[in-house]
Structure 1
Amino acid sequence: RDGPVGVEYFLEHGAALKQELKEKGALLFRGCGVNSAEDFEAVLDAVPFENMPYLGGAAPRRQITHRRIMTANESPPDEKIPLHHEMAQTRQPPDYIFFYCDTAPISGGATTLFDSRAAFDLLNLVDQSLAAQLETQGVRYTRVMPAVTDPASPIGRSWQETFLVETKPEAERVMQGQGLRWQWLDGDELRTESPVLPAIRLDPVSGRKTFFNSVIAAFTGWNDTRNVGQRAVQLGGGAYLPSAVFEQFLDRAATEVVNVPWQVGDMLWLDNRLVMHARQPFEGPRQIYTAIALESG
């Protein structure tokens, strides 16, 4: 979509746009008259997309508007954020994720997209056995969270901000509701282990299998002073991913992704069930706002 349209356009065409998003997985709006975080929020409300709190996410972020707009992952600009489905390491990931460019970087900083239907097909081509294991066993994620948000880490969100709480008893109630196992560590750090979650799902529109998980992100990106990525994700049966095979899959995947460079005012909608996203390193200021949503009804 190109050219200014205003909120009224999204009120009138919201249902059709949402259906197109479910089919294609991603929609880019350029020069459409969205000029602020408030405009961005108004568009999402107009369609409408049901607001969802960022509960259980790992990325350090700041709230921008009172209700739904926040910053995208604020990890250091020289780091690449690997491909992932937003919050796929939780029991209830969002159905949609949206981005808005408030400040474009001088160079780099593209958002990388990869259709998870194509990702499953590629993995099945590279190693049918691993694809079958992921489908039948699912995966489990392990993460250690700091007591205070660590902006130097792409998964440095504190346990208070992760679970939107202030005290350990409050955090334990949330974790129990999410089916997590946990252990309090020295320095008030928190180790969590997810229940076994599906790694392969079915797209009801196309009938194709999707590589819906946070496996790439965990394996390649959950590295900091507290975590080691290759030990952060396991098959449901307890085995770690075979490194050589998975690296081969990642090398092939890198040739099939699409990079979306940002211009000020751009708005990118993703069906989180269909499309993974990543961030390329960048130079200069870059301010991307984001929001997540559930399927209404």
Structure 2
Amino acid sequence: MENTITAKKSLGTIRRKAVDLSHFNPVRESQASEDQLLPLIIEPAADQVDLADWARNNRDYVNGKLHLHGGILFRGFSLSTPQDFERVAAAIYNEIYAEYGDLPREGVAGKIYTSTPYPEDKAILYHNESSHMNAWPTRISFFCVIAAKEGGCSPIVDCRKVYKQLDPAVREKFENLGLMYVRNFSDGLDVSWQRFFSTEDRAVVEEACRKQGFIAEWYGKDSLRVRQRCRGVLRHPVTGEISFFNQVQLHHVHSLDPDVRQSLLSIFKREDLPRHVYYGDGSVIEDSVMDHIGEIYEKNAVRFQWREGDMVTLDNMITAHARDPFVGPRKIVVALGDLVHGEDLDRASA
């Protein structure tokens, strides 16, 4: 009988085959449908992907996707705390903006805010963050710490589509006249002027208003009225596309629920409303125009159900956001980044 012996190869005789990882992408991308760009969905394609590291190493790529899609939903990356979220936001942004008076701070450290405190049974309407100011964040991100039991979506809408679908006559007025926002700081009705401006000194407030281009007017016992003229549309500094960029729906009294609107108008003169908005020449924005704008917003709105650990990053100059009513505990935190001044954009485009 012939004996056959199979010799085992020693470790020294085994040739190791090189594995090329240069084309391995640790994330995968998808869209809700082929014709719906917003939002791009990015998920991990492997275990234990560090989203902050990936975003930091691919910042230009992320920015390109934001310019194309308007927003990105990062899902499944095991983010669990506001600190995790802040780390990712810092990787995407050049600089996190941490001096925003309209939102309460999250905790005592870091640069993260909690979302707008507003009755949970009411919607927060569509707006581009700080578009009623002369400087605004180009990036805004949201992170879901606690998802609501019911409702609580954060609808997003591509403002390039809104601009294109508006009635041409409406679009022309917003382009040519711009907008004038009027805000009355009255204690107990909105953020106080002391909190918003982080001072008790009226002279400091007046100087801050002058620098911001606001018209400040003191009235009554301790109330402040501020007027600010802003653009109604914006040409994106990178893509060149035009967006419907404003907070007209968030500020116009006609956009409130009928019972809330009637209640406010029974208490205040129109000029004393906590917030209101006019065309830039001070003329009234017609209720029919507001109805038209609301229809266009809702026609193009995109909703997704929050999952805990989800993070959404938007190009604030392309995409507006809102909030649906909700039931049960809900906690969304916010990070703002890469502030831009309107006058700088104007000079660059001149």
**Aligned runs of 1:158-237 on 2, under 5 Å?**
158-194=192-228, 196-219=229-252, 220-221=255-256, 232-237=276-281
Determine whether 1:46 maps to 2:79. no
1:261 partnered with 2:294: no
Instruction: Supply the distance in 2 between the matched residues of 1:227 and 1:115 (Cα, whole angstroms).
Output: 34
Q: Work out whether residues 74 and 310 of structure 2, in 8 Å CA contact, stay in contact via their aligned partners in 1.
A: yes
Structural mapping, 1:70-219, within 5 Å: 70-123=113-166, 127-147=167-187, 150=188, 156-194=190-228, 196-219=229-252
* 2: CA distance, partners of 1:246 / 1:230: 18
Task: Kindly state the Cα deviation for residue 239 of structure 1 after the two structures are TM-superposed.
Answer: 1.1
Provide the C-alpha distance between the structure 2 equivalents of 1:30 and 1:227, rounded to a whole number of angstroms: 46
- Output aligned runs, 1:27-38, within 5 Å: 27-38=72-83
Determine if contact 1:122/1:253 at 8 Å carries over to the other structure.
no
Paired position in structure 2 for 1:62:
105
Q: Which deviations, in whole Å up to 9, do the C-alpha atoms of 1:61-87 show, x marking residues without a partner?
A: 233352310101111101100000001
* 1:136–1:79 distance in 2 versus 1, CA, 3 Å: same
- Checking the alignment, whether the CA contact within 8 Å between 1:86 and 1:93 is kept in structure 2 is yes
CA 1:230–1:42 in 2, change beyond 3 Å: closer, same or farther?
A: closer
Please, which of 50, 55, 61 is the counterpart of residue 16 of structure 1?
A: 61
Q: Which residue of 2 aligns with 1:239?
A: 283
Distance in 1 between the 2:327 and 2:235 partners?
Answer: 38
In the alignment, which residue of structure 1 is the partner of 2:9? none
User: How far does the alpha carbon of each residue in 1:26-85 deviate from its partner, in whole angstroms, 9 at most, with x for none?
Assistant: 00011112111111111122234312234463xx52333523101011111011000000
Please, what TM-score do these two structures have when normalized by structure 1? Answer: 0.88
**Deviation (angstroms), 1:233:** 1.0
Which residue identity lines up with residue 181 of structure 1 in the other structure?
I
Please give the per-residue CA displacement for 1:115-166, whole angstroms capped at 9, x wherever unaligned: 110011111xxx222211110111110011123xx4xx6xx21112222323
**Alignment partners' CA distance in 2, 1:2 and 1:284:** 27
Q: Quick one: which amino acid aligns to residue 75 of structure 1?
A: Y
The Cα of 1:268 is off from its aligned counterpart by 0.3
Q: Is the 8 A contact 1:55 1:164 kept in 2?
A: no
Q: Distance in 1 between matches of 2:330 and 2:116?
A: 11
Q: Which SS does the other structure have where 2:142 is aligned?
A: strand
The residue aligned with 1:2 is: 43
Question: Closer, same or farther in 2 for the Cα pair 1:121/1:230, shift >3 Å?
Answer: farther
- Give the secondary structure class of the aligned counterpart of 1:66: coil
Mark the CA change 1:209 to 1:199 in structure 2 (over 3 Å): closer, same or farther. same
Is contact 2:136-2:339 (8 Å) kept? no
Q: CA deviation at 1:295?
A: 5.6
Contact 1:230–1:240, Cα closer than 8 Å, also in 2: no
Q: Secondary structure at the match of 1:114?
A: strand
Deviates more, 1:261-270 or 1:182-191: 182-191
- In structure 2, which of residues 292, 297, 302 is the aligned counterpart of residue 248 of structure 1? 292
Structure-1 separation of matches of 2:183 and 2:328 = 31
For 2:269 and 2:58, the matched residues in 1 are separated by 45
Q: Deviations over 1:223-264 (max 9, x none)?
A: 666685798111112211121133123124312210132110
> Unaligned regions of 5+ residues in structure 2, if any?
1-41, 341-350
Letter paired with 1:97: I
Residues 93 and 338 in structure 2, CA contact (< 8 A), matched pair in contact too: no
Q: Which secondary structure state, in structure 1, belongs to the residue aligned with residue 135 of structure 2? A: coil
Structure 1 runs (4+) deviating above 4 angstroms are 221-231
- Larger of the two Rg values belongs to structure: 2
Mark the CA change 1:28 to 1:65 in structure 2 (over 3 Å): closer, same or farther: farther
